[in-house]
């Protein structure tokens, strides 16, 4: 029994010990759990914060929240962006903007139609069709290149440019001559920038005028994008310190142009301040200086109509009583045929007599007083050379002081050949001490091909024939030279020619208009849209200044002042016919001379010496 009791006690004792141990285990577990809870409460907040930051960074990278590293990393299709299909052309950038224009790229050089070059940069290039070449004329030399060749030549020899200078494109309906702008740069100050190739579209910038531009510096590496949107594809990557042209800056985006001619948008925050800087001009080609034999004193030129060698004998009677004339221009030379020969009425005795009276002689060469055909002469270099040689040879043999070119049949189809003739004639005349002057119609759209600007560069005087506002063949009667017509002629010429080289010519004649009433049937024949004129017009007479008073007396006509033309006007009737005349007289000529003197032009001319009334010389002395 005692053994049993012992066992029971041991069992009870052991059970007690187990219970106590379990409690200690429970307490230890509880303590660990409490420590874990405290640790979790301590670590959870920063962990969650780190997790949130990581999530934000991932989202920022995906959405482009951070521009420098998180914007779109897709490069734009630059051929599509610039609208260039292949490497045969470049997009042209003007005024820091993309244009719709494309310029030809050939042999890594820029090419432009010759007609466009003449319009934009210099009108001096002349296509010599007879030799299939292009000529550029300076005062002291001419440069020539044959179409399709890479070299050009002048008096110093031949130079190879390394690529084709000019070529013809026959792909369009009209044949087009293209010229390398590298060649143009030999004669004009041009800034040429061409970037691209090797997988990038060509971009081109051409500049011949320079001013100022806004520039900014990149302060942090970033991207130039297609649009002002961080999701937009990029055009190119920008480096810290890179300089850009600032086109426009609005808010958080700036439109900019790189020096490699990429245009796009960049975040303003990655740019420094805007500075306005001067563009660097190209000055490789010095300004051309041309010999000028322009007189510091006003020229008073009178044409003297000579119809044959015997006409030279009228000199003394023609100049009797005149005053103030400085130059006589006898009509001596005319084109004869179309091979470059001239018909001449020149006279050394005439020249000697004029010189003895203190005047000079500028012999006239015209294209309408013989059987010459300028259209079949001027476009050929050998014929031009022969004509110039003959003119200078004859002029020197009789001792004239200059030549006056009076070509009035020039058409647009050979206007380029005409001005090339004037260039070549001027060069040779100046070598021989001869003054060159050229007669021109009052500037209008239909006679732009006379190239007055080039005349003003190469010649000494550009003479405006300030008359025939209304002429035989006009539909309506009117003045030969109203004040506004003269004013327009001078002002338009002064836009292209220096004032000291401009001479305005006055008419010493007028026209009497005869108006015969039309029948109703004749008026009904007027084409639709045209003004219906109730009379047929013809010229009754062309009286000189000397004959005007006698004219009015014969018809018992009374003159009245017409303020709009600044002329006296008269009209009368004989039967059903009406007659009108706008007079050139002392009052009207004085108004014109006063107008001319106010523009400070180089002189006055008159057509024609024998038609002038005595008061003309007093008027000219008064104003010139």
Q: What is the mean pLDDT of residues 395-421?
A: 98
pLDDT at 183 over 50: yes
How confident is residue 40, by pLDDT bands cut at 50, 70 and 90?
low
Query: What pLDDT is attached to residue 4?
Result: 44
Mind listing the pLDDT tens digit for each residue in 606-617?
999 999 999 999
Q: Among 318, 360, 365, 404, which residue's Cα sits nearest to residue 611? A: 318
Query: What pLDDT is attached to residue 3?
Result: 45
pLDDT at 572 over 60: yes
What proportion of the chain, given as a percentage, has pLDDT over 70? 90
How confident is residue 12, by pLDDT bands cut at 50, 70 and 90?
very low
Buried b (16+ CB within 10 A) or exposed e, 506-533: bbbbbbbbbbeebeeeeeeeeeeeeeee
pLDDT at 13 over 50: no
Pure H helices in 144-263? 181-184
| Eight-class DSSP state of 15 | H
Query: What pLDDT is attached to residue 67?
Result: 46
Query: What pLDDT is attached to residue 56?
Result: 65
How confident is residue 61, by pLDDT bands cut at 50, 70 and 90?
low
CA dihedral sign, ordered 117, 120, 122, 123 = positive
pLDDT at 465 over 50: yes
Q: What is the mean pLDDT of residues 216-239?
A: 97
Query: What pLDDT is attached to residue 10?
Result: 43
Query: What pLDDT is attached to residue 54?
Result: 75
How confident is residue 173, by pLDDT bands cut at 50, 70 and 90?
confident
Between CA 257 and CA 264 the distance in angstroms is 7
Sheet-wide strand order for 151-154: 125-128, 133-137, 142-146, 151-154, 157-160
Q: What is the mean pLDDT of residues 173-182?
A: 95
* Boundaries of every domain in the chain: 78-205, 210-278
Contacts by 343-350, CB closer than 8 A, 24 or more apart? 343/370, 344/394, 345/306, 345/308, 345/309, 345/311, 345/312, 346/394, 346/395, 346/397, 346/398, 346/400, 347/309, 347/312, 347/398, 348/397, 348/398, 348/399, 349/312, 350/312, 350/315, 350/398
pLDDT at 8 over 50: no
Per the listing, tokens 């001078």 go with: 490
pLDDT at 230 over 60: yes
What proportion of the chain, given as a percentage, has pLDDT over 90? 87
Q: How far apart are the first and last CA of the chain?
A: 168
Q: What is the mean pLDDT of residues 64-84?
A: 80
Contact 467, 573 (CB under 8 A): no
How confident is residue 16, by pLDDT bands cut at 50, 70 and 90?
very low
pLDDT mean across residues, the chain:
92
How confident is residue 619, by pLDDT bands cut at 50, 70 and 90?
very high
Mind listing the pLDDT tens digit for each residue in 235-277?
999 999 999 999 999 999 999 999 999 999 999 999 999 999 9
pLDDT at 281 over 70: yes
Q: What is the mean pLDDT of residues 337-356?
A: 97
How confident is residue 397, by pLDDT bands cut at 50, 70 and 90?
very high
Between CA 537 and CA 515 the distance in angstroms is 5
Between CA 62 and CA 365 the distance in angstroms is 83
Contact 537, 531 (CB under 8 A): no
Q: Among 174, 171, 163, 183, which residue's Cα sits nearest to residue 112? A: 183
Q: What is the mean pLDDT of residues 187-205?
A: 96
How confident is residue 305, by pLDDT bands cut at 50, 70 and 90?
very high
Between CA 73 and CA 67 the distance in angstroms is 10
Query: What pLDDT is attached to residue 50?
Result: 77
Output the CATH code of domain 210-278.
2.30.30.40
Q: How many CA atoms lie within 13 A of 199 on its CB side?
A: 1
Between CA 234 and CA 499 the distance in angstroms is 55
Mind listing the pLDDT tens digit for each residue in 75-116?
999 999 999 999 999 999 999 999 999 999 999 999 999 999
Query: What pLDDT is attached to residue 25?
Result: 59
Query: What pLDDT is attached to residue 53?
Result: 73
Between CA 222 and CA 253 the distance in angstroms is 12
Mind listing the pLDDT tens digit for each residue in 49-60?
677 677 766 655
Q: How far is CA 461 from the centre of its chain?
A: 23
Between CA 420 and CA 423 the distance in angstroms is 5
How confident is residue 22, by pLDDT bands cut at 50, 70 and 90?
low
Contact 121, 188 (CB under 8 A): yes
pTM for this prediction: 0.85
Q: What is the mean pLDDT of residues 28-32?
A: 70
């Amino acid at each position: 029994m005692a053994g049993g009791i012992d066992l029971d006690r041991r069992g009870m004792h052991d059970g007690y010990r187990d219970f106590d141990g379990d409690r200690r285990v429970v307490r230890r577990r509880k303590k660990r759990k409490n420590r874990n809870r405290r640790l979790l409460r301590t670590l959870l907040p920063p962990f969650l914060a780190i997790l949130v930051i990581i999530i934000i960074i991932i989202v920022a990278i995906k959405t482009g929240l951070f521009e420098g590293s998180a914007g779109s990393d897709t490069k734009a299709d630059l051929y599509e962006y610039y609208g260039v299909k292949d490497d045969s052309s470049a997009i042209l950038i003007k005024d820091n903007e993309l244009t719709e224009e494309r310029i030809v790229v050939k042999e890594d050089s820029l090419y432009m139609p010759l007609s466009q070059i003449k319009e934009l940069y210099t009108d001096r290039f002349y296509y010599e069709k007879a030799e299939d070449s292009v000529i550029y004329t300076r005062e002291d030399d001419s440069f020539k290149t044959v179409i399709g060749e890479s070299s050009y030549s002048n008096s110093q020899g031949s130079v190879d440019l390394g690529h084709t200078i000019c070529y013809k494109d026959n792909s369009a309906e009209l044949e087009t001559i293209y010229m390398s702008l590298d060649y143009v740069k030999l004669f004009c100050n041009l800034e040429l920038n061409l970037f691209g190739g090797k997988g990038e579209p060509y971009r081109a910038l051409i500049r011949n005028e320079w001013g100022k531009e806004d520039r900014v510096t990149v302060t942090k590496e970033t991207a130039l994008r297609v649009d002002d949107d961080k999701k937009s594809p990029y055009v190119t990557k920008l480096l810290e310190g890179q300089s850009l042209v600032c086109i426009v800056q609005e808010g958080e985006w700036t439109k900019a142009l790189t020096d490699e001619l990429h245009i796009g948008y960049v975040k303003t925050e990655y740019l420094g301040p805007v500075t306005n800087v001067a563009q660097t001009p190209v000055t490789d080609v010095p300004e051309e200086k041309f010999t000028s034999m322009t007189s510091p004193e006003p020229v008073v030129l009178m044409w003297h109509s000579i119809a044959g060698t015997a006409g030279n004998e009228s000199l003394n009677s023609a100049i009797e009583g005149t005053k103030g004339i400085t130059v006589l221009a006898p009509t001596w030379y005319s084109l004869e045929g179309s091979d470059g020969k001239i018909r001449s009425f020149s006279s050394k005795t005439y020249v000697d007599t004029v010189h003895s009276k203190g005047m000079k002689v500028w012999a006239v060469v015209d294209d309408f007083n013989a059987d010459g055909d300028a259209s079949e002469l001027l476009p050929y270099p050998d014929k031009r050379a022969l004509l110039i040689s003959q003119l200078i040879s004859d002029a020197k043999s009789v001792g004239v002081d200059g030549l006056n070119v009076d070509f009035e049949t020039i058409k647009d189809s050979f206007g380029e050949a005409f001005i090339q003739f004037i260039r070549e004639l001027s060069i040779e005349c100046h070598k021989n001490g001869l003054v060159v002057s050229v007669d021109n119609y009052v500037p209008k759209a239909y006679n732009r091909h006379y190239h007055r600007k080039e005349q003003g560069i190469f010649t000494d005087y550009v003479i405006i024939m300030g008359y025939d506002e209304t002429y035989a063949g006009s539909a309506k009667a009117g003045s030969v030279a109203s004040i506004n017509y003269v004013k327009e002629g001078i002002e338009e010429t002064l836009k292209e020619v220096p004032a000291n080289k401009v001479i305005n010519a006055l008419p010493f004649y007028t026209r009497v208009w005869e108006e015969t009433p039309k029948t109703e049937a004749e008026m009904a024949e007027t084409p639709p849209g045209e003004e219906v004129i109730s009379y047929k017009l013809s010229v009754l007479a062309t009286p000189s200044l000397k004959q005007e008073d006698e004219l009015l007396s014969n018809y018992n006509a009374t003159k009245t002042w017409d303020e709009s033309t600044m002329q006296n006007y008269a009209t009368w009737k004989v039967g059903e016919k009406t007659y009108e005349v706008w007079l050139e007289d002392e009052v009207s000529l004085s108004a014109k001379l006063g107008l001319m003197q106010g523009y400070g032009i180089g002189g006055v001319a008159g057509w024609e010496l024998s038609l002038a009334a005595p008061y003309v010389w007093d008027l000219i002395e008064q104003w010139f």
